[in-house]
A and B are shown apart, each in its own frame.
Chain A
Amino acid sequence: MTETVIGILLATLGAGTPLVFAALGELVTEKSGVLNLGVEGMMIVGAVCGFAVAAESGNLWLGVMASVLAGTGMALVFGVLTLTFQSNQVAAGLALTIFGIGLSAYIGLDYTSVALTGIANIHIPVLSDIPVAGPLLFSLDPLLYCSFLMFAAIAYFLYRTKAGLLLRAIGESPESAVSLGYPVIAIRYLAVLFGGAMAGLAGAYLALVYTPLWVEAMTAGRGWIALALVVFATWRPGRVMVGAYLFGGVTIIQFHVQGFGVDIPSQLLSMLPYLATIVVLVLISRDINAIRLNAPASLGKAYHPSV
């Protein structure tokens, strides 16, 4: 029994982590006032580039780096379009996703039947062998620990540092920030690029840890769920984590339910994680005051410097 529960919890962490990366990255981007709908595209390009580089070089960590760079590159395209040329953020983001899905299918042509051994879990002598706590805390894969670190770092950055305060301020009123003399466009660029890097990392987790193989369209809408998570978590990192693991948990449980041979069509069951995540997050995000206080007021609006 304990074995099963530990198994489910571990699988939940694994299934939730791509969302943690992608949604935390998007949260930082949106806090600066930029809405990047291209998460799905950045994620899948990150996934295929990471997989391809890992397969060619045989080095998984080179693959992770390639994922991060690919995600950042995609975000740079978005940044140039929306921040330098002031084009519509919604249209540019959608285009980025469609572009990303096509591009990844093309890059991935030669890799569809390649098998890779994914990034292994760490093993710490003694600690990892403790019952229950060992497998749950001390023998996870390195990227999972990285996601915990990213969460802590982002929460600290946003709420404890002046730079984080400035990022939130720019998301609320770029006009005020400019009149105080802050370089709004440059800071938004950094936020967009960070979001891209995190989406790339999410892709790396999918293709190099979660299911170490490449399948076309393997992100399966996780980028969109990450976007929804950010909104329904009312732009708060803690709630993003809750939402991401909730999604992971329901994903795993519905696999088990399918395994027990319950008489529900599997298509309906695979729908469940998406549905459950949205419903729960909608329910906890009904406080309109909390939304006004946390939502970046300038989200999605192009800022035209008037000078």
Chain B
Amino acid sequence: MNEETKGLQPRLELRGITKIYPTVVANEDVNLKVYPGEIHAVLGENGAGKSTLMKIIYGVIKPDRGQVLWEGREVQVTRPAEARRLGVGMVFQHFSLFETLTVAQNIALGVDEPFDLDRLSKRIGEVSRRYGLPLDPQRLVHSLSVGERQRVEIVRCLLQEPRLLIMDEPTSVLTPQAVKKLFETLRRLAEEGCSILYISHKLEEIRELCHNATVMRGGRVTADADPRQETASSLARMMIGRELPVCEHSVSTAAGPVRLLISGLNRKSDDPFGTDLKDIHLEVRGGEIVGIAGISGNGQQELLVALSGEKPLDKRDSAAIKIDGVEAGHLNAAARRDLGLTFVPEERLGRGAVPPMSLSENTLLTGHRGGMVRFGLIKERKVRDFAEQCLRDFDVRCGGVQAAAKSLSGGNLQKFIVGREILQKPKVLIAAQPTWGVDVGAAAAIRQELIELRNSGLAVLVVSEELEELFEICDRIVVIAGGRLSPVTAAADTNMEEIGLWMSGLFPGDGERERSDAVADASSR
């Protein structure tokens, strides 16, 4: 406990909270105290039980054991409406918004008061001005950027004048500049006496913002600390039990031949809420890792389906994509793989692997080229050998090659999928969010593997929303915003600040004009 909180009554106190699922203990004997005006971090890896704990506080999940005390009084919060009545607001990691409704309608569904959209719109305007969170109540949510959507959630909470605000991984979707603004808002709220529970795995942010930290690992609290007194590495030791692993990354020396060439790729999105690709130019050479940064929803999905061959281009646009010098735009995914392209999709279950099938069956999904099939018959032995090699070489921890894909943890399944693609000896590897939802150790292993691949002469293209990750592994970085690519820059010549600015659409060249177009587009919809 800190000096400043001694003697005060906690606003929220948890005692011995336990929640057990059939396969996993999500929370075990968790104790937590949050004081008025305190910004309290809950720190832990994916799967440490942070989100479950927050949902218990918000009344979405019922704990098996334990007590919740609100301002010293024991309470049973069985529904979010009750939590809201106590004064608890929550901003979800995966937003709880409805895309086809307006901002005001969305907020109306999350506040418990008589239904009057006009009055509500006025109040939204007042609150958003007061906290510097500009928001137009009449806009449809699908036309908002990810940062604006988060603002909708925050304003929805603020309208209820919360006394405890829960923020679940709020910065994972924001540019560094937007993070700064968010922190200003949160500090201001705390000064007004609101308590804030801030859930994150980003150590530097917590050190900058929070007064107190509860560290969780495997569903248990492993430490309570004052993050301002700790270093990033001491917090990391509490969070994962050892130092944060760092990748070894040497500067790329030999620039090989151009393996993947995108020139003048234009494409209208099939989805009316999607992003059109506009005049994309990019080359990826053997022996380098090129990273595409950007906030999700700026054309990444559209670019990836065009590159992987999931939705091939028209025949006449075929020259827009060349794999190893061959025009490939009109080819489907299988034909592109024949040319030496491999692809690690963002959704591991569903796109990268068939969930109920075994790992050796999943090997066949993309590995069938390597002599595993003859005359339409599967050569079981060969498949099994390949899968076993994959588990061995990439340290996939699971119940063997017969284990179902869905039974693996996110990190292990991702290692399997990356391994499966790499063992096919490709020339180009495209990876979307390669470490999304993966624990720190496995993420470091996957990043190291990508660097090894680069060193062996492969062309690697990584699409990621995590700037830290891109700066860790990439030789060159480019930003996608509004379906358009920024200039490509060497990672060593830039910094997060600049890339963050580019991510909001402000990059040299005609970026300025493009941004105003995009805004006009969105508001005319």
- Partner-binding segment picked from B98-106, B121-129, B324-332, B447-455: B98-106
Chain B residues with Cβ below 8 Å from A297 are 99-100
Query: Bound complex: CA of A106 vs CA of B80, how far in Å?
Result: 49
Please give the distance in Å from B149's CB to the nearest CB on chain A: 11
Chain B residues with Cβ below 8 Å from A162 are 108-109, 115
Chain A residues with Cβ below 8 Å from B79 are 181
Q: Which residue of B lies closest to A183 (CB)?
A: B79
Given contacts A162-B115, A165-B105, A292-B273, contact A180 B100 (CB under 8 A): no
Chain A residues with Cβ below 8 Å from B444 are none
Given contacts A162-B108, A307-B60, A307-B61, contact A180 B273 (CB under 8 A): no
Given contacts A162-B108, A166-B109, A169-B109, contact A179 B60 (CB under 8 A): yes
Restricting to B59-96, which residues have a CB under 8 Å from any CB of A? 59-62, 79-81, 84, 92, 94-96
Restricting to B482-525, which residues have a CB under 8 Å from any CB of A? 525
Question: Does A176 contact B98, Cβ atoms closer than 8 Å?
Answer: yes
CB contact between A292 and one of B62, B92, B100, B108 (< 8 Å): that residue: B100
A interface: dominant SS: helix
Question: Does A288 contact B110, Cβ atoms closer than 8 Å?
Answer: no
Please give the distance in Å from B76's CB to the nearest CB on chain A: 15
CB contact between A181 and one of B59, B97, B115 (< 8 Å): that residue: B59
Is B272 part of the contact surface with A, judged by Cβ < 8 Å?
yes
Question: Does A172 contact B100, Cβ atoms closer than 8 Å?
Answer: yes
Please give the distance in Å from A60's CB to the nearest CB on chain B: 39
Question: Does B272 contact A165, Cβ atoms closer than 8 Å?
Answer: no
Question: Does A165 contact B109, Cβ atoms closer than 8 Å?
Answer: yes
Please give the distance in Å from A239's CB to the nearest CB on chain B: 17
Is A173 part of the contact surface with B, judged by Cβ < 8 Å?
yes
Question: Does A165 contact B108, Cβ atoms closer than 8 Å?
Answer: yes
Question: Does A289 contact B272, Cβ atoms closer than 8 Å?
Answer: yes
Query: Bound complex: CA of A113 vs CA of B62, how far in Å?
Result: 60
Is A236 part of the contact surface with B, judged by Cβ < 8 Å?
no
Tally chain B residues at the interface, Cβ within 8 Å. Answer: 27
Please give the distance in Å from B470's CB to the nearest CB on chain A: 30
Query: Bound complex: CA of A161 vs CA of B114, how far in Å?
Result: 10
Query: Bound complex: CA of A169 vs CA of B96, how far in Å?
Result: 11
Q: Which residue of B lies closest to A161 (CB)?
A: B115
Question: Does B60 contact A178, Cβ atoms closer than 8 Å?
Answer: yes
Query: Bound complex: CA of A136 vs CA of B374, how far in Å?
Result: 74
Question: Does A176 contact B272, Cβ atoms closer than 8 Å?
Answer: no
Please give the distance in Å from B235's CB to the nearest CB on chain A: 29
Chain B residues with Cβ below 8 Å from A292 are 100, 271-273
Query: Bound complex: CA of A24 vs CA of B272, how far in Å?
Result: 27
Range for the number of chain A residues in contact with chain B: 20 to 34
Question: Does A180 contact B109, Cβ atoms closer than 8 Å?
Answer: yes
Given contacts A161-B115, A179-B60, A180-B109, contact A172 B81 (CB under 8 A): no
Query: Bound complex: CA of A292 vs CA of B525, how far in Å?
Result: 13
Question: Does A288 contact B272, Cβ atoms closer than 8 Å?
Answer: yes
Is A168 part of the contact surface with B, judged by Cβ < 8 Å?
yes
Please give the distance in Å from B275's CB to the nearest CB on chain A: 14
Query: Bound complex: CA of A297 vs CA of B142, how far in Å?
Result: 13
Question: Does A176 contact B97, Cβ atoms closer than 8 Å?
Answer: yes
Please give the distance in Å from B75's CB to the nearest CB on chain A: 16
Chain B residues with Cβ below 8 Å from A293 are 100, 140
Question: Does A179 contact B273, Cβ atoms closer than 8 Å?
Answer: no
Chain A residues with Cβ below 8 Å from B95 are 176
Query: Bound complex: CA of A161 vs CA of B117, how far in Å?
Result: 10
Chain A residues with Cβ below 8 Å from B109 are 162, 165-166, 169, 177, 180, 182
**Could you say which of B60, B62, B79, B271 has the most chain A C-beta atoms within 10 Å of its C-beta?**
B60
Chain A residues with Cβ below 8 Å from B84 are 181
Is A294 part of the contact surface with B, judged by Cβ < 8 Å?
yes
**Could you say which of A181, A288, A292 has the most chain B C-beta atoms within 10 Å of its C-beta?**
A181
Chain A residues with Cβ below 8 Å from B81 are 181
Given contacts A165-B109, A307-B60, contact A172 B98 (CB under 8 A): yes
Given contacts A161-B115, A179-B92, A181-B80, contact A307 B62 (CB under 8 A): yes
Please give the distance in Å from B281's CB to the nearest CB on chain A: 29
Please give the distance in Å from B459's CB to the nearest CB on chain A: 36
Query: Bound complex: CA of A175 vs CA of B95, how far in Å?
Result: 10
Chain A residues with Cβ below 8 Å from B525 are 289
Query: Bound complex: CA of A178 vs CA of B80, how far in Å?
Result: 9
CB contact between A172 and one of B60, B99, B273 (< 8 Å): that residue: B99
Question: Does B80 contact A169, Cβ atoms closer than 8 Å?
Answer: no
Query: Bound complex: CA of A248 vs CA of B60, how far in Å?
Result: 49
Question: Does A168 contact B59, Cβ atoms closer than 8 Å?
Answer: no
Query: Bound complex: CA of A288 vs CA of B94, how far in Å?
Result: 26
Q: Which residue of A lies closest to B113 (CB)?
A: A162
Q: Which residue of A lies closest to B95 (CB)?
A: A176
Question: Does B101 contact A169, Cβ atoms closer than 8 Å?
Answer: yes
CB contact between B101 and one of A165, A181, A289 (< 8 Å): that residue: A165
Q: Which residue of B lies closest to A288 (CB)?
A: B272
Chain B residues with Cβ below 8 Å from A181 are 59-60, 79-81, 84
Given contacts A179-B80, A180-B110, contact A169 B61 (CB under 8 A): no
Please give the distance in Å from B215's CB to the nearest CB on chain A: 25
CB contact between A180 and one of B80, B94, B105 (< 8 Å): that residue: B80
Chain B residues with Cβ below 8 Å from A182 are 109
Please give the distance in Å from B199's CB to the nearest CB on chain A: 15
Chain B residues with Cβ below 8 Å from A165 are 101, 105, 108-109, 115
Query: Bound complex: CA of A3 vs CA of B99, how far in Å?
Result: 51
Chain A residues with Cβ below 8 Å from B272 are 288-289, 292
Given contacts A162-B108, A178-B60, A179-B92, contact A294 B80 (CB under 8 A): no
Query: Bound complex: CA of A297 vs CA of B98, how far in Å?
Result: 10
Please give the distance in Å from A7's CB to the nearest CB on chain B: 43
Q: Which residue of B lies closest to A162 (CB)?
A: B115
Question: Does B115 contact A180, Cβ atoms closer than 8 Å?
Answer: no
Chain B residues with Cβ below 8 Å from A178 are 60
Query: Bound complex: CA of A66 vs CA of B497, how far in Å?
Result: 70
Chain A residues with Cβ below 8 Å from B140 are 293
Query: Bound complex: CA of A294 vs CA of B297, how far in Å?
Result: 21
Chain A residues with Cβ below 8 Å from B100 are 168, 172, 292-294, 297
Chain B residues with Cβ below 8 Å from A288 are 272
Question: Does A179 contact B62, Cβ atoms closer than 8 Å?
Answer: no
Restricting to A94-120, which residues have a CB under 8 Å from any CB of B? none
Additional A-B contacts beyond A161-B115, A169-B109 (8; CB < 8 A): A162-B108, A172-B99, A172-B100, A175-B94, A178-B60, A180-B109, A292-B100, A293-B140
**Can you list 16 A-B pairs, Cβ within 8 angstroms, ordered by A?**
A165-B105, A165-B109, A166-B109, A168-B101, A169-B98, A173-B96, A173-B99, A176-B98, A179-B96, A181-B60, A181-B79, A292-B271, A292-B272, A292-B273, A293-B140, A294-B100
